[in-house]
Chain A
Protein backbone atom coordinates (compact mmCIF):
# COMPACT_ATOMS: atom_id res chain seq x y z
CA UNK A 1 0.00 0.00 0.00
CA UNK A 2 2.73 2.46 1.01
CA UNK A 3 4.93 1.54 -1.94
CA UNK A 4 2.01 1.83 -4.34
CA UNK A 5 1.03 5.31 -3.18
CA UNK A 6 4.60 6.60 -2.94
CA UNK A 7 4.97 7.36 -6.65
CA UNK A 8 1.73 9.30 -7.26
CA UNK A 9 2.14 11.22 -3.98
CA UNK A 10 5.66 12.29 -4.88
CA UNK A 11 4.49 13.45 -8.32
CA UNK A 12 1.72 15.53 -6.75
CA UNK A 13 4.10 17.02 -4.19
CA UNK A 14 6.60 17.98 -6.90
CA UNK A 15 3.89 19.66 -8.97
CA UNK A 16 2.75 21.61 -5.90
CA UNK A 17 6.30 22.74 -5.15
CA UNK A 18 6.90 23.90 -8.72
CA UNK A 19 3.55 25.67 -8.72
CA UNK A 20 4.28 27.41 -5.42
CA UNK A 21 7.77 28.50 -6.45
CA UNK A 22 6.76 29.75 -9.88
CA UNK A 23 3.84 31.81 -8.61
CA UNK A 24 6.15 33.44 -6.07
CA UNK A 25 9.09 34.03 -8.36
CA UNK A 26 7.00 35.18 -11.33
CA UNK A 27 4.68 37.11 -8.99
CA UNK A 28 1.52 35.86 -10.67
CA UNK A 29 -1.50 37.80 -9.36
CA UNK A 30 -3.67 35.78 -7.00
CA UNK A 31 -6.83 36.32 -9.05
CA UNK A 32 -5.11 34.70 -12.05
CA UNK A 33 -3.46 31.76 -10.32
CA UNK A 34 -3.24 31.58 -6.55
CA UNK A 35 -0.33 29.71 -4.99
CA UNK A 36 -1.13 26.38 -3.26
CA UNK A 37 -0.45 27.92 0.16
CA UNK A 38 -2.99 30.66 -0.45
CA UNK A 39 -5.56 28.06 -1.54
CA UNK A 40 -4.85 26.05 1.60
CA UNK A 41 -5.26 29.15 3.73
CA UNK A 42 -8.64 29.88 2.19
CA UNK A 43 -9.62 26.23 2.57
CA UNK A 44 -8.88 26.37 6.29
CA UNK A 45 -10.08 29.87 7.12
CA UNK A 46 -13.19 29.75 4.96
CA UNK A 47 -14.39 26.36 6.24
CA UNK A 48 -17.37 27.80 8.11
CA UNK A 49 -18.35 29.78 4.97
CA UNK A 50 -18.54 26.86 2.61
CA UNK A 51 -19.02 23.72 4.65
CA UNK A 52 -22.81 23.79 4.18
CA UNK A 53 -22.19 23.85 0.41
CA UNK A 54 -20.15 20.67 0.63
CA UNK A 55 -22.72 18.90 2.77
CA UNK A 56 -25.42 19.78 0.29
CA UNK A 57 -23.37 18.46 -2.63
CA UNK A 58 -22.54 15.23 -0.78
CA UNK A 59 -26.22 14.71 -0.08
CA UNK A 60 -27.16 15.40 -3.69
CA UNK A 61 -24.40 13.13 -5.02
CA UNK A 62 -25.27 10.21 -2.78
CA UNK A 63 -28.99 10.37 -3.57
CA UNK A 64 -28.35 10.81 -7.29
CA UNK A 65 -25.83 7.99 -7.31
CA UNK A 66 -28.22 5.66 -5.48
CA UNK A 67 -31.04 6.41 -7.91
CA UNK A 68 -28.75 6.21 -10.94
CA UNK A 69 -27.25 2.88 -9.91
CA UNK A 70 -30.67 1.38 -9.14
CA UNK A 71 -31.98 2.52 -12.51
CA UNK A 72 -28.87 1.14 -14.21
CA UNK A 73 -29.20 -2.25 -12.52
CA UNK A 74 -32.92 -2.46 -13.26
CA UNK A 75 -32.31 -1.64 -16.92
CA UNK A 76 -29.50 -4.22 -17.10
CA UNK A 77 -31.62 -6.97 -15.57
CA UNK A 78 -34.64 -6.12 -17.67
CA UNK A 79 -32.69 -6.03 -20.92
CA UNK A 80 -30.96 -9.28 -20.03
CA UNK A 81 -34.16 -11.15 -19.22
CA UNK A 82 -35.99 -9.80 -22.26
CA UNK A 83 -33.63 -10.19 -25.24
CA UNK A 84 -36.19 -8.79 -27.68
CA UNK A 85 -36.42 -5.57 -25.73
CA UNK A 86 -32.65 -5.49 -25.46
CA UNK A 87 -32.32 -5.48 -29.23
CA UNK A 88 -34.81 -2.64 -29.45
CA UNK A 89 -33.49 -0.47 -26.64
CA UNK A 90 -29.73 -1.01 -26.58
CA UNK A 91 -29.01 1.54 -29.38
CA UNK A 92 -31.26 4.03 -27.60
CA UNK A 93 -29.27 3.50 -24.43
CA UNK A 94 -26.05 4.34 -26.21
CA UNK A 95 -27.57 7.36 -27.93
CA UNK A 96 -28.69 8.70 -24.56
CA UNK A 97 -25.01 9.19 -23.79
CA UNK A 98 -24.47 11.37 -26.84
CA UNK A 99 -26.72 14.14 -25.56
CA UNK A 100 -24.49 16.77 -23.99
CA UNK A 101 -25.57 17.26 -20.40
CA UNK A 102 -24.90 21.00 -20.68
CA UNK A 103 -27.59 21.23 -23.36
CA UNK A 104 -29.98 18.94 -21.59
CA UNK A 105 -29.70 20.69 -18.24
CA UNK A 106 -31.56 23.91 -19.14
CA UNK A 107 -34.28 21.83 -20.77
CA UNK A 108 -34.73 19.85 -17.59
CA UNK A 109 -35.06 23.09 -15.67
CA UNK A 110 -37.79 24.25 -18.06
CA UNK A 111 -39.64 20.98 -17.56
CA UNK A 112 -39.10 20.39 -13.87
CA UNK A 113 -38.28 23.78 -12.37
CA UNK A 114 -35.44 24.62 -10.01
CA UNK A 115 -36.17 21.97 -7.41
CA UNK A 116 -34.22 18.86 -6.69
CA UNK A 117 -35.88 16.77 -9.44
CA UNK A 118 -33.89 18.00 -12.47
CA UNK A 119 -30.69 17.72 -10.46
CA UNK A 120 -31.32 14.11 -9.53
CA UNK A 121 -32.28 13.45 -13.14
CA UNK A 122 -28.96 14.77 -14.40
CA UNK A 123 -26.94 12.67 -11.95
CA UNK A 124 -29.05 9.64 -12.81
CA UNK A 125 -28.41 10.22 -16.49
CA UNK A 126 -24.64 10.26 -16.08
CA UNK A 127 -24.60 7.42 -13.52
CA UNK A 128 -26.90 4.75 -14.89
CA UNK A 129 -25.03 4.12 -18.11
CA UNK A 130 -21.69 2.68 -16.91
CA UNK A 131 -23.47 0.41 -14.43
CA UNK A 132 -26.07 -0.74 -16.94
CA UNK A 133 -23.60 -1.51 -19.72
CA UNK A 134 -21.06 -3.30 -17.55
CA UNK A 135 -23.74 -5.34 -15.76
CA UNK A 136 -25.35 -6.37 -19.05
CA UNK A 137 -21.93 -7.53 -20.27
CA UNK A 138 -21.33 -9.47 -17.06
CA UNK A 139 -24.73 -11.15 -17.30
CA UNK A 140 -24.28 -12.07 -20.94
CA UNK A 141 -20.82 -13.54 -20.59
CA UNK A 142 -21.67 -16.13 -17.98
CA UNK A 143 -19.46 -19.20 -18.34
CA UNK A 144 -21.38 -21.54 -20.70
CA UNK A 145 -20.04 -24.62 -18.90
CA UNK A 146 -21.68 -23.47 -15.70
CA UNK A 147 -24.94 -22.77 -17.51
CA UNK A 148 -24.77 -26.31 -18.96
CA UNK A 149 -24.23 -27.70 -15.50
CA UNK A 150 -27.16 -25.78 -14.04
CA UNK A 151 -29.46 -26.93 -16.84
CA UNK A 152 -28.40 -30.57 -16.48
CA UNK A 153 -28.98 -30.32 -12.73
CA UNK A 154 -32.55 -29.24 -13.44
CA UNK A 155 -32.30 -25.59 -12.43
CA UNK A 156 -35.22 -23.37 -13.36
CA UNK A 157 -34.69 -20.16 -15.36
CA UNK A 158 -35.09 -18.19 -12.15
CA UNK A 159 -32.49 -20.31 -10.33
CA UNK A 160 -30.04 -19.95 -13.20
CA UNK A 161 -30.50 -16.20 -13.01
CA UNK A 162 -30.26 -15.74 -9.26
CA UNK A 163 -27.70 -18.42 -8.44
CA UNK A 164 -25.48 -18.13 -11.49
CA UNK A 165 -25.85 -15.15 -13.80
CA UNK A 166 -26.36 -12.48 -11.18
CA UNK A 167 -23.38 -13.37 -8.95
CA UNK A 168 -21.33 -13.89 -12.08
CA UNK A 169 -22.00 -10.29 -13.15
CA UNK A 170 -20.95 -8.73 -9.84
CA UNK A 171 -17.24 -8.14 -10.67
CA UNK A 172 -18.23 -6.44 -13.95
CA UNK A 173 -20.89 -4.45 -12.14
CA UNK A 174 -18.23 -3.07 -9.80
CA UNK A 175 -16.14 -1.74 -12.66
CA UNK A 176 -19.23 0.16 -13.78
CA UNK A 177 -19.89 1.37 -10.23
CA UNK A 178 -16.41 2.86 -9.97
CA UNK A 179 -16.94 4.96 -13.09
CA UNK A 180 -20.42 5.98 -11.99
CA UNK A 181 -19.16 7.03 -8.57
CA UNK A 182 -16.71 9.52 -10.03
CA UNK A 183 -19.24 10.75 -12.61
CA UNK A 184 -21.82 11.33 -9.92
CA UNK A 185 -19.81 14.08 -8.23
CA UNK A 186 -19.36 15.86 -11.56
CA UNK A 187 -23.03 15.40 -12.31
CA UNK A 188 -23.95 16.96 -8.98
CA UNK A 189 -21.73 20.02 -9.51
CA UNK A 190 -23.04 20.56 -13.04
CA UNK A 191 -26.61 20.26 -11.86
CA UNK A 192 -25.96 22.89 -9.21
CA UNK A 193 -24.84 25.36 -11.82
CA UNK A 194 -28.37 25.32 -13.16
CA UNK A 195 -29.62 27.26 -10.25
CA UNK A 196 -29.47 26.24 -6.68
CA UNK A 197 -28.90 28.09 -3.45
CA UNK A 198 -26.44 25.63 -1.99
CA UNK A 199 -23.71 23.30 -3.16
CA UNK A 200 -20.12 23.30 -4.37
CA UNK A 201 -21.38 24.27 -7.83
CA UNK A 202 -23.03 27.39 -6.42
CA UNK A 203 -19.99 28.26 -4.33
CA UNK A 204 -17.83 27.90 -7.42
CA UNK A 205 -20.02 30.17 -9.57
CA UNK A 206 -20.10 32.83 -6.87
CA UNK A 207 -16.33 32.60 -6.44
CA UNK A 208 -15.50 32.92 -10.11
CA UNK A 209 -17.89 35.80 -10.73
CA UNK A 210 -16.24 37.72 -7.88
CA UNK A 211 -12.72 36.80 -9.08
CA UNK A 212 -12.01 34.79 -5.91
CA UNK A 213 -9.88 32.37 -7.85
CA UNK A 214 -8.54 30.89 -4.62
CA UNK A 215 -12.10 29.80 -3.77
CA UNK A 216 -12.56 28.27 -7.22
CA UNK A 217 -9.53 26.13 -6.46
CA UNK A 218 -10.89 25.24 -3.03
CA UNK A 219 -14.02 24.03 -4.82
CA UNK A 220 -11.95 21.99 -7.26
CA UNK A 221 -9.99 20.54 -4.37
CA UNK A 222 -13.16 19.37 -2.66
CA UNK A 223 -14.61 17.95 -5.85
CA UNK A 224 -11.47 15.84 -6.18
CA UNK A 225 -11.57 14.80 -2.54
CA UNK A 226 -15.22 13.76 -2.85
CA UNK A 227 -14.45 11.78 -6.00
CA UNK A 228 -11.62 9.98 -4.26
CA UNK A 229 -13.72 9.20 -1.19
CA UNK A 230 -16.57 7.79 -3.27
CA UNK A 231 -14.13 5.77 -5.30
CA UNK A 232 -12.48 4.42 -2.15
CA UNK A 233 -15.85 3.43 -0.69
CA UNK A 234 -16.69 1.47 -3.84
CA UNK A 235 -13.29 -0.25 -3.78
CA UNK A 236 -13.73 -1.16 -0.12
CA UNK A 237 -17.16 -2.62 -0.83
CA UNK A 238 -15.69 -4.53 -3.76
CA UNK A 239 -12.94 -5.98 -1.58
CA UNK A 240 -15.48 -7.23 0.93
CA UNK A 241 -18.00 -8.59 -1.56
CA UNK A 242 -15.51 -10.08 -4.01
CA UNK A 243 -13.32 -11.81 -1.47
CA UNK A 244 -13.66 -14.97 -3.57
CA UNK A 245 -12.23 -13.32 -6.66
CA UNK A 246 -9.00 -15.05 -7.81
CA UNK A 247 -7.22 -11.91 -9.04
CA UNK A 248 -7.55 -10.15 -5.72
CA UNK A 249 -4.76 -11.80 -3.76
CA UNK A 250 -2.08 -11.53 -6.38
CA UNK A 251 -2.64 -7.80 -6.62
CA UNK A 252 -2.10 -6.86 -2.99
Chain B
Protein backbone atom coordinates (compact mmCIF):
# COMPACT_ATOMS: atom_id res chain seq x y z
CA UNK B 1 0.00 0.00 0.00
CA UNK B 2 2.94 2.26 0.50
CA UNK B 3 5.97 2.35 -1.70
CA UNK B 4 8.40 5.18 -2.09
CA UNK B 5 10.67 5.74 -5.02
CA UNK B 6 13.28 8.43 -5.55
CA UNK B 7 14.43 8.53 -9.12
CA UNK B 8 17.43 10.50 -10.28
CA UNK B 9 17.09 13.10 -7.55
CA UNK B 10 19.51 16.02 -7.54
CA UNK B 11 19.57 18.90 -5.15
CA UNK B 12 21.99 21.74 -4.58
CA UNK B 13 21.98 24.69 -2.23
CA UNK B 14 23.61 27.48 -4.22
CA UNK B 15 26.96 26.21 -5.43
CA UNK B 16 26.92 23.21 -3.12
CA UNK B 17 25.62 19.99 -4.65
CA UNK B 18 24.21 17.82 -1.88
CA UNK B 19 22.44 15.06 -3.81
CA UNK B 20 23.53 13.97 -7.24
CA UNK B 21 21.32 11.61 -9.22
CA UNK B 22 20.19 9.70 -6.18
CA UNK B 23 18.05 6.59 -6.62
CA UNK B 24 16.31 4.96 -3.72
CA UNK B 25 13.38 2.67 -3.24
CA UNK B 26 11.37 1.51 -0.24
CA UNK B 27 9.01 -1.37 -0.95
CA UNK B 28 5.65 -1.91 0.66
CA UNK B 29 6.04 -2.94 4.29
CA UNK B 30 9.79 -2.61 4.16
CA UNK B 31 12.05 -1.12 6.82
CA UNK B 32 14.97 0.70 5.17
CA UNK B 33 17.75 2.53 7.00
CA UNK B 34 20.00 5.28 5.69
CA UNK B 35 23.52 5.32 7.10
CA UNK B 36 25.87 8.10 6.21
CA UNK B 37 28.31 10.63 7.59
CA UNK B 38 27.11 13.85 9.16
CA UNK B 39 26.28 16.51 6.60
CA UNK B 40 25.91 14.02 3.76
CA UNK B 41 22.32 15.04 3.06
CA UNK B 42 20.13 12.55 4.91
CA UNK B 43 17.83 15.16 6.40
CA UNK B 44 17.74 16.89 3.03
CA UNK B 45 16.36 13.69 1.49
CA UNK B 46 13.54 13.78 4.04
CA UNK B 47 12.85 17.45 3.38
CA UNK B 48 12.55 16.65 -0.32
CA UNK B 49 10.19 13.74 0.32
CA UNK B 50 8.16 15.94 2.66
CA UNK B 51 7.81 18.61 0.00
CA UNK B 52 9.61 21.29 1.97
CA UNK B 53 12.17 21.73 -0.81
CA UNK B 54 11.85 21.15 -4.53
CA UNK B 55 14.33 18.79 -6.13
CA UNK B 56 16.33 20.36 -8.97
CA UNK B 57 15.91 17.23 -10.92
CA UNK B 58 14.18 13.85 -10.74
CA UNK B 59 10.93 12.41 -9.45
CA UNK B 60 9.70 11.31 -6.05
CA UNK B 61 6.87 8.83 -6.14
CA UNK B 62 4.68 7.62 -3.34
CA UNK B 63 2.52 4.69 -4.46
CA UNK B 64 3.49 5.47 -8.05
CA UNK B 65 2.22 9.01 -7.80
CA UNK B 66 4.63 11.94 -8.13
CA UNK B 67 4.74 13.94 -4.91
CA UNK B 68 7.48 16.43 -5.77
CA UNK B 69 6.86 19.53 -3.65
CA UNK B 70 3.64 18.09 -2.24
CA UNK B 71 3.48 18.52 1.51
CA UNK B 72 1.82 16.33 4.08
CA UNK B 73 2.08 12.99 2.31
CA UNK B 74 4.37 11.28 4.83
CA UNK B 75 4.45 10.88 8.57
CA UNK B 76 7.66 12.51 9.72
CA UNK B 77 9.80 12.79 12.79
CA UNK B 78 12.32 15.63 12.47
CA UNK B 79 15.86 15.45 13.78
CA UNK B 80 15.08 18.04 16.45
CA UNK B 81 11.96 17.19 18.47
CA UNK B 82 10.15 20.37 17.30
CA UNK B 83 7.51 20.26 20.01
CA UNK B 84 5.19 23.19 20.61
CA UNK B 85 6.09 24.68 24.00
CA UNK B 86 2.54 25.84 24.76
CA UNK B 87 1.03 22.42 24.18
CA UNK B 88 1.10 19.65 26.74
CA UNK B 89 2.66 16.31 25.79
CA UNK B 90 -0.77 14.91 24.94
CA UNK B 91 -1.70 17.95 22.85
CA UNK B 92 1.65 17.73 21.10
CA UNK B 93 1.34 14.10 20.05
CA UNK B 94 -2.08 14.63 18.49
CA UNK B 95 -0.95 17.70 16.54
CA UNK B 96 -0.23 15.93 13.27
CA UNK B 97 -3.57 14.09 13.41
CA UNK B 98 -5.38 17.29 14.27
CA UNK B 99 -4.28 18.88 11.01
CA UNK B 100 -6.25 16.33 9.02
CA UNK B 101 -8.98 14.85 11.23
CA UNK B 102 -10.38 14.70 14.73
CA UNK B 103 -7.76 13.24 17.09
CA UNK B 104 -8.33 10.10 19.13
CA UNK B 105 -7.14 11.03 22.62
CA UNK B 106 -7.56 7.51 23.95
CA UNK B 107 -5.23 6.02 21.38
CA UNK B 108 -2.74 8.81 22.02
CA UNK B 109 -2.74 8.06 25.75
CA UNK B 110 -2.17 4.37 25.06
CA UNK B 111 0.83 5.17 22.87
CA UNK B 112 2.22 7.53 25.50
CA UNK B 113 1.89 4.82 28.08
CA UNK B 114 3.86 2.43 25.91
CA UNK B 115 6.57 5.05 25.46
CA UNK B 116 6.78 5.38 29.25
CA UNK B 117 5.32 8.87 29.22
CA UNK B 118 1.92 8.26 30.77
CA UNK B 119 2.64 10.37 33.85
CA UNK B 120 3.76 13.23 31.66
CA UNK B 121 0.70 13.48 29.43
CA UNK B 122 -0.16 16.85 30.92
CA UNK B 123 3.38 18.17 31.30
CA UNK B 124 4.84 20.85 29.04
CA UNK B 125 7.89 20.11 26.86
CA UNK B 126 10.24 22.30 28.93
CA UNK B 127 9.57 20.03 31.90
CA UNK B 128 10.91 16.98 30.03
CA UNK B 129 14.43 15.68 29.47
CA UNK B 130 15.91 15.68 25.98
CA UNK B 131 15.30 11.95 25.53
CA UNK B 132 11.71 12.27 26.69
CA UNK B 133 11.10 15.05 24.17
CA UNK B 134 12.46 12.79 21.46
CA UNK B 135 10.07 10.05 22.52
CA UNK B 136 7.16 12.51 22.38
CA UNK B 137 8.14 13.48 18.84
CA UNK B 138 8.40 9.79 17.99
CA UNK B 139 4.92 9.05 19.32
CA UNK B 140 3.61 12.04 17.39
CA UNK B 141 4.95 10.61 14.15
CA UNK B 142 3.50 7.17 14.92
CA UNK B 143 0.08 8.73 15.44
CA UNK B 144 0.19 10.66 12.16
CA UNK B 145 -2.48 9.53 9.72
CA UNK B 146 -0.08 9.04 6.78
CA UNK B 147 1.04 5.45 6.27
CA UNK B 148 4.62 6.04 5.08
CA UNK B 149 6.92 6.84 8.00
CA UNK B 150 10.17 8.82 7.87
CA UNK B 151 12.22 8.90 11.06
CA UNK B 152 15.27 11.17 11.30
CA UNK B 153 17.54 9.82 14.06
CA UNK B 154 14.65 9.21 16.44
CA UNK B 155 16.71 7.66 19.24
CA UNK B 156 19.94 9.67 19.06
CA UNK B 157 19.45 11.44 22.41
CA UNK B 158 18.60 8.30 24.39
CA UNK B 159 20.78 6.29 26.73
CA UNK B 160 21.63 2.68 25.82
CA UNK B 161 18.81 1.16 27.91
CA UNK B 162 16.01 3.43 26.79
CA UNK B 163 17.29 3.19 23.25
CA UNK B 164 17.01 -0.60 23.31
CA UNK B 165 13.53 -0.38 24.84
CA UNK B 166 12.41 2.06 22.18
CA UNK B 167 13.90 -0.05 19.40
CA UNK B 168 12.07 -3.12 20.66
CA UNK B 169 8.88 -1.11 20.99
CA UNK B 170 9.27 0.25 17.46
CA UNK B 171 9.75 -3.30 16.20
CA UNK B 172 6.61 -4.62 17.91
CA UNK B 173 4.53 -1.79 16.50
CA UNK B 174 6.10 -2.19 13.12
CA UNK B 175 5.62 -5.96 13.06
CA UNK B 176 1.93 -5.53 13.88
CA UNK B 177 1.10 -3.06 11.16
CA UNK B 178 4.05 -3.36 8.79
CA UNK B 179 4.14 0.23 7.59
CA UNK B 180 6.92 1.19 5.18
CA UNK B 181 9.67 3.01 7.05
CA UNK B 182 12.64 5.08 5.98
CA UNK B 183 14.94 5.46 8.96
CA UNK B 184 18.04 7.63 9.43
CA UNK B 185 20.60 6.69 12.04
CA UNK B 186 24.29 6.99 12.86
CA UNK B 187 24.23 3.77 14.80
CA UNK B 188 25.21 0.67 12.78
CA UNK B 189 23.88 -1.79 15.35
CA UNK B 190 20.54 -0.04 15.46
CA UNK B 191 20.31 -0.13 11.68
CA UNK B 192 21.02 -3.88 11.54
CA UNK B 193 18.70 -4.70 14.41
CA UNK B 194 15.73 -2.90 12.86
CA UNK B 195 16.09 -2.98 9.09
CA UNK B 196 15.33 -5.15 6.13
CA UNK B 197 17.80 -3.17 4.10
CA UNK B 198 20.56 -0.67 4.85
CA UNK B 199 21.69 1.95 2.36
CA UNK B 200 25.10 3.48 2.96
CA UNK B 201 25.36 7.03 1.66
CA UNK B 202 28.58 8.55 0.39
CA UNK B 203 29.10 12.21 0.88
CA UNK B 204 29.57 15.36 -1.25
CA UNK B 205 27.48 14.74 -3.24
CA UNK B 206 25.56 11.95 -1.57
CA UNK B 207 24.64 8.78 -3.35
CA UNK B 208 23.89 5.23 -2.33
CA UNK B 209 27.31 3.60 -2.51
CA UNK B 210 26.41 0.27 -1.02
CA UNK B 211 23.32 -1.64 -0.09
CA UNK B 212 23.08 -4.38 2.54
CA UNK B 213 20.19 -6.79 2.81
CA UNK B 214 19.54 -7.85 6.39
CA UNK B 215 17.56 -11.05 6.39
CA UNK B 216 17.56 -12.07 10.03
CA UNK B 217 14.18 -13.58 10.67
CA UNK B 218 11.49 -11.71 12.52
CA UNK B 219 10.33 -11.17 15.18
CA UNK B 220 13.80 -10.18 16.32
CA UNK B 221 14.91 -9.86 19.90
CA UNK B 222 17.99 -8.49 21.55
CA UNK B 223 19.86 -11.82 21.64
CA UNK B 224 20.27 -11.37 17.91
CA UNK B 225 22.73 -8.55 18.55
CA UNK B 226 25.17 -11.02 20.14
CA UNK B 227 25.18 -13.62 17.38
CA UNK B 228 28.13 -14.22 15.11
CA UNK B 229 26.19 -13.32 11.96
CA UNK B 230 25.13 -10.01 13.46
CA UNK B 231 28.69 -9.08 14.38
CA UNK B 232 29.91 -10.01 10.93
CA UNK B 233 27.34 -7.75 9.28
CA UNK B 234 28.34 -5.01 11.64
CA UNK B 235 31.98 -5.40 10.70
CA UNK B 236 31.20 -5.39 7.01
CA UNK B 237 29.12 -2.21 7.25
CA UNK B 238 31.67 -0.58 9.50
CA UNK B 239 34.40 -1.13 6.93
CA UNK B 240 32.24 0.32 4.16
CA UNK B 241 31.57 3.41 6.26
CA UNK B 242 35.27 3.82 7.03
CA UNK B 243 35.90 3.68 3.33
CA UNK B 244 33.40 6.51 2.83
CA UNK B 245 35.01 8.62 5.49
CA UNK B 246 38.52 8.08 4.19
CA UNK B 247 37.64 9.21 0.67
Contacts and interface: CB of A to CB of B under 8 A. Distances in A.
Q: Do A and B come together as binding partners?
A: yes
Contacts of A152: 46-47, 50-52, 71-72, 74, 76, 78
Interface stretch (A35-43, A122-130, A141-149, A219-227): A141-149
Interface string A11-27: 00000000000000000
A245 B124 CA distance: 9
10 contacts: A148-B47, A151-B50, A151-B51, A151-B71, A152-B47, A152-B74, A152-B76, A154-B71, A170-B86, A244-B85
Interface of B: 46-47, 50-52, 71-74, 76, 78, 80, 82, 84-88, 95-96, 98-100, 124, 126, 144
Contacts of A148: 47, 52, 78, 82
A240 to B, nearest CB: 13
A153 B76 CA distance: 7
B52 A154 contact: no
In order of increasing CB-CB distance, the 7 nearest A-B pairs are: A154-B72, A152-B50, A246-B126, A149-B82, A244-B124, A244-B86, A153-B96
Nearest to A168: B86
A195 interface: no
Nearest to A160: B99
B100 A154 contact: yes
Contacts of A167: 84, 86
Contacts, number: 65
Q: Which of A152, A156, A167 has most B Cβ within 10 Å?
A: A152
Nearest to A243: B124
Nearest to B80: A145
A146 B72 contact: no
A89 to B, nearest CB: 29
Contacts of B76: 149, 152-153
Interface in A143-187: 145-146, 148-156, 159, 163-164, 167-168, 170
A191 B244 CA distance: 74
Q: Quick one: which of A146, A154, A167 has the most chain B CB within 10 A? A: A154
Contacts of A242: 86
A242 B85 CA distance: 10
Interface string A213-252: 0000000000000000000000000000010111000000
